A and B are shown apart, each in its own frame.
Chain A
Amino acid sequence: MIELARPGFWITAVTAAVLVLIIPLVTEVYTLYNLTVFAVLAMLALSLGLVWGIGGILALGQSAFFGIGAYVYALISVNLADSTLAVPAAMLAPLLVAVLIGYFTFFGRISDVYFAVISLTIPLILLSLINSASGPAYQFGKAHLGGYNGIPGVPPLNIPFDPSAVLSFEGMYYVSALLLLLVYLILRVLVASRFGRVVEAVRENELRAELLGYDARYYKLGVFCIGAAIAGLAGALYAAWGASVGPTVFSLSFTAQAVVWVLFGGLGTLLGPIVGCFLVQGLSTWLGSVSRISPEIALGLLFIIAVLLVPNGIVPSLRDRLKSTFVRGGRI
């Protein structure tokens, strides 16, 4: 709770909230539509930023939890025609999967790099499973998994326990942006808490943290599960935003995007992944509208450039620059 006593925290919170509320007044509908999905994707980036940047767990397949959240939301909300239960379920399901994966990896003491590859096979397993899941055997109540084509007609969010009060287009924007802000602020408090400090200690030196009496496995599992639940929430919002969900959420290039956002924005910070996501998505939306460069080429180049030239990411680099500017008396 140290973080709550800092004025900087509240200044950030209020400024960001005001910004979220002002933007719809000054932008076009199309921009707002894009900003909504950017906010949803930024939440996925934030979850990976927590697990990878803060926890030091190389969860390259983080989008699997996003996809599970999206599918669970779709299945439940189609069946109940109400999103009240679907959203918590979309957070719970990835969390349970994360516990299972964490048991086999963290408790098996599998090394970081091996974990990265195992984590990456999870969305690939789900991709081939979902792609083949068409036919009457995959009917769940009113919803049908639909294999390749995914689930169409996913209901939008509604006010809890009132299925008739569906959120409008702008309402969806406010919910997504404010939830992103809320998750960000909660994570800031979490990172500054005792739990967060131990997690960072484990990232820096697992052996030393264990010698000090902390069971690294439980802390890793904890942060991994929190990340999975956040990714699941983002997935639910994504399905509600797009009114459909398909197997592309499990594709390799989708999970690569999440990694690029975090890498580009900056590892080890919470703001970095969000900034990275908005920048990269904005850039690729713009590239898609002005040129015919294929998204893979752009994403691949950005990936290599980020690793070779901006290894620290944008936000940490800028922060260091700002700090040195202020400390040395305003000269750049």
Chain B
Amino acid sequence: MAGGGELRGSPPVGLASLPAQFPDKAIKGISMDLALLTGVEVVYAIASLFLISVGLAIVFGMMGVINFAHGEFLMLGGFAFILAVRAGVNFWVAMFVVAPLCVAIIGVIIERLIIRHLYGRIVETILATWGLSLLLIGLASAVFGYYQLGVRPPFGVVHIGAYQTGVYTFFVIGVAVVLGLGLYFLLRHTPFGLIARGTMQSAPMAAALGVNVKHVYSITFGIGAAVSGLAGAVFAPLTGVLPISGLTYIAKAFITVILGGALPLTGAALSSALLGTVSQITTFLSTSVFGEVMLLVTAIVLLRVLPSGITGRFFKRGI
């Protein structure tokens, strides 16, 4: 075979593979509980889209770098988290410290070795990071093997009338909200945020004012990588981790960022809200595969109307 056969053994992971007990489709009539559960599922879909795409959005929006190895950053975050938990590290320390830190370090090294040589050459960056993505998948499968690693998600289930869903669902939503607010604060109200936004607007002007632009890019890339690592760790208890896990995120993450447009935070949040709602409702009416297809198709059709994304047309004054 000339093609990579590595997608065999891919777990059928997707946003819909929650521990939540999905109600039987045969149930007719909309009860209050069902409506409430659907609402939770939609919010969860939005939160998870935001989580998987915001790291990419920061790197793309602030630096103009399209990082094709983004999915692998999520994968590495997942591995760092699970291996740390298995080595006896506290669950929360592993998720909020170990995973982001590991991926941030890897990200900074990659920025030094590859990305830095290609600033301003978007096409070359796409190609080099795509090569990097394949390389990381190859290395991960050589080091960790093709086993699906997993840990049990904490918390139990919560009952919504006749239905139940995992408490972890609400935890993921909480992480997305806190992360979004934290990034907003970082970019809007700290000296670093000011410098980073200034560099994003005009790198030569920032350099003329004495900012070390390379340094800012390096830190920004590191932050993007850390956020991706955190997201990978958050999803690891739900989906498990494989060397090819990144591939399940990559298309959704990219299409969300592109539909979002130029502003990293506002764009990622708005397009997550739109696409998450569409895909979750489609999933509810058919299957999760069609939900995902609907997400991509919606984005392509919307880009016909808004070629530079949502924030290219609306909400231009956000971050």
Q: Do A and B bind each other?
A: yes
Q: Are A296 and B135 in contact (CB under 8 A)?
A: yes
Map CB proximity to A onto B290-302 as digits: 1 under 8 Å, 0 otherwise.
0011001100110
Q: Is the CB of A297 within 8 A of B255?
A: no
CB pair B126–A116 under 8 Å, yes or no, is yes
Chain A residues with Cβ below 8 Å from B3 are 248-249, 251, 253-254, 257
Q: List the B side residues contacting A298 at CB < 8 Å.
A: 138
CB distance from A120 to the nearest CB of B (A): 8
| Cβ-defined contact, A254 with B133, below 8 A | no
A190 interfacial contact with B, CB 8 Å: no
- Tell me if A175 counts as interface (CB < 8 A to partner B): no
Contacts of B35 in A (CB 8 A): none
B307 touches A111 (CB 8 A): yes
What is the distance, in angstroms, from B313's C-beta to the closest C-beta of chain A?
Answer: 13
**Total cross-chain contacts (CB, 8 A):** 154
Contact A253 B4, beta carbon cutoff 8 Å: yes
Residue pair B114, A304 in contact (C-beta under 8 Å): yes
Chain A residues near B305: list those with CB within 8 A. 108
Among B7, B139, B293, the residue within 8 A (CB) of A251 is: B7
The reply on A302 being an interface residue by CB < 8 A is yes
How many chain-A residues does the 8 Å CB contact rule pick out? 56
Q: Would you call A140 an interface residue if the criterion is a C-beta within 8 Å of the partner chain's C-beta atoms?
A: no
Selected interface stretch from A72-80, A126-134, A177-185: A126-134
Q: Is B8 an interface residue (CB 8 A)?
A: yes
Q: Which one of A109, A118, A259, A294 lies within 8 Å of B130 (CB-CB)? A: A259
Contact with B along A145-183 (1 / 0, CB 8 A): 000100000000000000000000000000000000000
Q: Which residues of chain A from 235 to 280 have any CB-CB distance to chain B below 8 Å in the complex?
A: 242, 247-249, 251-254, 256-257, 259-260, 263
Contact status of A257 and B303, CB under 8 A, knowing A247-B7, A300-B131: no
- Which residues on the B side are within 8 Å of A304 (C-beta)? 114, 128, 131-132, 135
State whether the Cβ of B122 lies closer than 8 Å to any Cβ in chain A. yes
CB–CB A263/B127 < 8 A: yes
Minimum CB–CB distance from B117 to chain A (whole Å) comes to: 7
Q: Closest CB of chain A to B145's CB: distance in Å?
A: 11
A281 in contact (CB, < 8 A): yes
Task: Provide the bound-state CA to CA distance between A111 and B307, in Å.
Answer: 8
Measured between beta carbons, the chain A residues less than 8 angstroms from B247 are 252
Tell me if B138 and A296 are in contact (CB < 8 A).
yes
B18-56 residues with Cβ-Cβ distance < 8 A to A are none
B287: chain A residues within 8 A (beta carbon): 132
Q: Which residue of B lies closest to A249 (CB)?
A: B3
A104 contacts chain B at the CB level, 8 A cutoff: yes
Question: Beta-carbon contacts of A191-222 to B below 8 Å, as 1s and 0s?
Answer: 00000000000000000000000000000000
Interface size in chain B (residues, C-beta < 8 A): 49
Q: Quote the shortest CB–CB distance from A109 to chain B (angstroms).
A: 5
Interface members, chain B 271-316 (any A CB < 8 Å): 287, 289, 292-293, 296-297, 300-301, 303-305, 307-308
Residue with the greatest number of chain B CB neighbours at <10 A, chosen from A111, A120, A129 = A120
A128-B2 contact, Cβ under 8 Å, with A118-B300, A304-B128: no
Chain B residues positioned under 8 Å from A125 (CB to CB): 251, 292-293, 296-297
Interface string of A71-98 (1 = CB under 8 A from B): 0000000000000000000000000000
Judge whether B124 and A307 touch: CB under 8 Å.
yes
Query: Given A117-B66, A259-B130: A104 and B7 within 8 A (CB)?
Result: no
| A124 at interface by CB-CB < 8 Å | yes
Whether B208 is near chain A, meaning CB under 8 Å from some CB there, is: no
Q: Which of A58, A112, A251, A311 has the most CB of B within 10 A?
A: A251
Q: Is A138 an interface residue (CB 8 A)?
A: no
**Closest B residue, CB atoms, query A303:** B131
Of all chain B residues, the one with the shortest Cβ separation from A116 is B126
Question: Could you tell me the distance between the alpha carbons of A217 and B86 in the complex, rounded to whole angstroms?
Answer: 55
User: Taking A117-B66, A254-B3, A296-B6 as contacts, is the C-beta distance between A109 and B132 under 8 angstroms?
Assistant: no
Contact at A256–B134, with CB atoms within 8 Å?
Answer: yes
Contact present for A300 and B134 (CB under 8 Å): yes
B142 CB-CB contact with A under 8 Å: yes
Tell me, rounded to whole Å, the shortest Cβ–Cβ distance linking B291 to chain A.
10
Instruction: Identify the closest chain A residue to B66 (Cβ).
Output: A113
Render B238-250 as a binary contact track against A, CB cut-off 8 A, 1 for contact.
Answer: 0000000001001
Q: For residue B7, which residues in chain A have a CB less than 8 angstroms away from its CB? A: 127, 131, 247-248, 251
Most B-side CB within 10 Å, residue of A124, A129, A281:
A124
In the complex, A281→B2 CA distance in Å?
8
A104 & B137 in contact (Cβ 8 Å cutoff): no
Contact A300 B138, beta carbon cutoff 8 Å: yes
> Complex Cα distance A307/B133, Å?
14
Give the CA-CA distance A300 to B110 in the complex, in Å. Answer: 14
Please measure, in the bound complex, the distance between the C-alpha atom of A311 and the C-alpha atom of B141, giving whole angstroms. Answer: 29
Smallest beta-carbon distance B190→chain A, Å: 30
Quick check: is B258 within 8 A (CB to CB) of the other chain?
A: yes
Flag whether B209 is at the interface (Cβ < 8 A).
no
Residues in A with CB closer than 8 Å to B123 are 58, 112-113, 116
Most buried by A among B3, B124, B133, B301: B3
Residue of B nearest to A247 (CB): B7
Please name all residues of chain A whose beta carbon is closer than 8 Å to the beta carbon of B303 when the two chains form the complex: 104-105, 108, 110, 114, 118
B1 within 8 A of A: yes
Known: A117-B66, A125-B297, A296-B135. 4 other contacts (CB 8 A): A132-B289, A301-B131, A303-B127, A303-B134
Q: Which residues of B contact A (CB under 8 A)?
A: 1-8, 66, 114, 117-118, 122-124, 126-128, 130-139, 141-142, 247, 250-251, 254-255, 258, 287, 289, 292-293, 296-297, 300-301, 303-305, 307-308
Q: Give 6 A-B contacts (CB < 8 Å), ordered by A residue.
A: A124-B296, A125-B296, A296-B4, A300-B133, A300-B137, A307-B131
A-B CB proximity, top 6 nearest: A303-B131, A300-B135, A296-B138, A253-B4, A297-B138, A300-B134
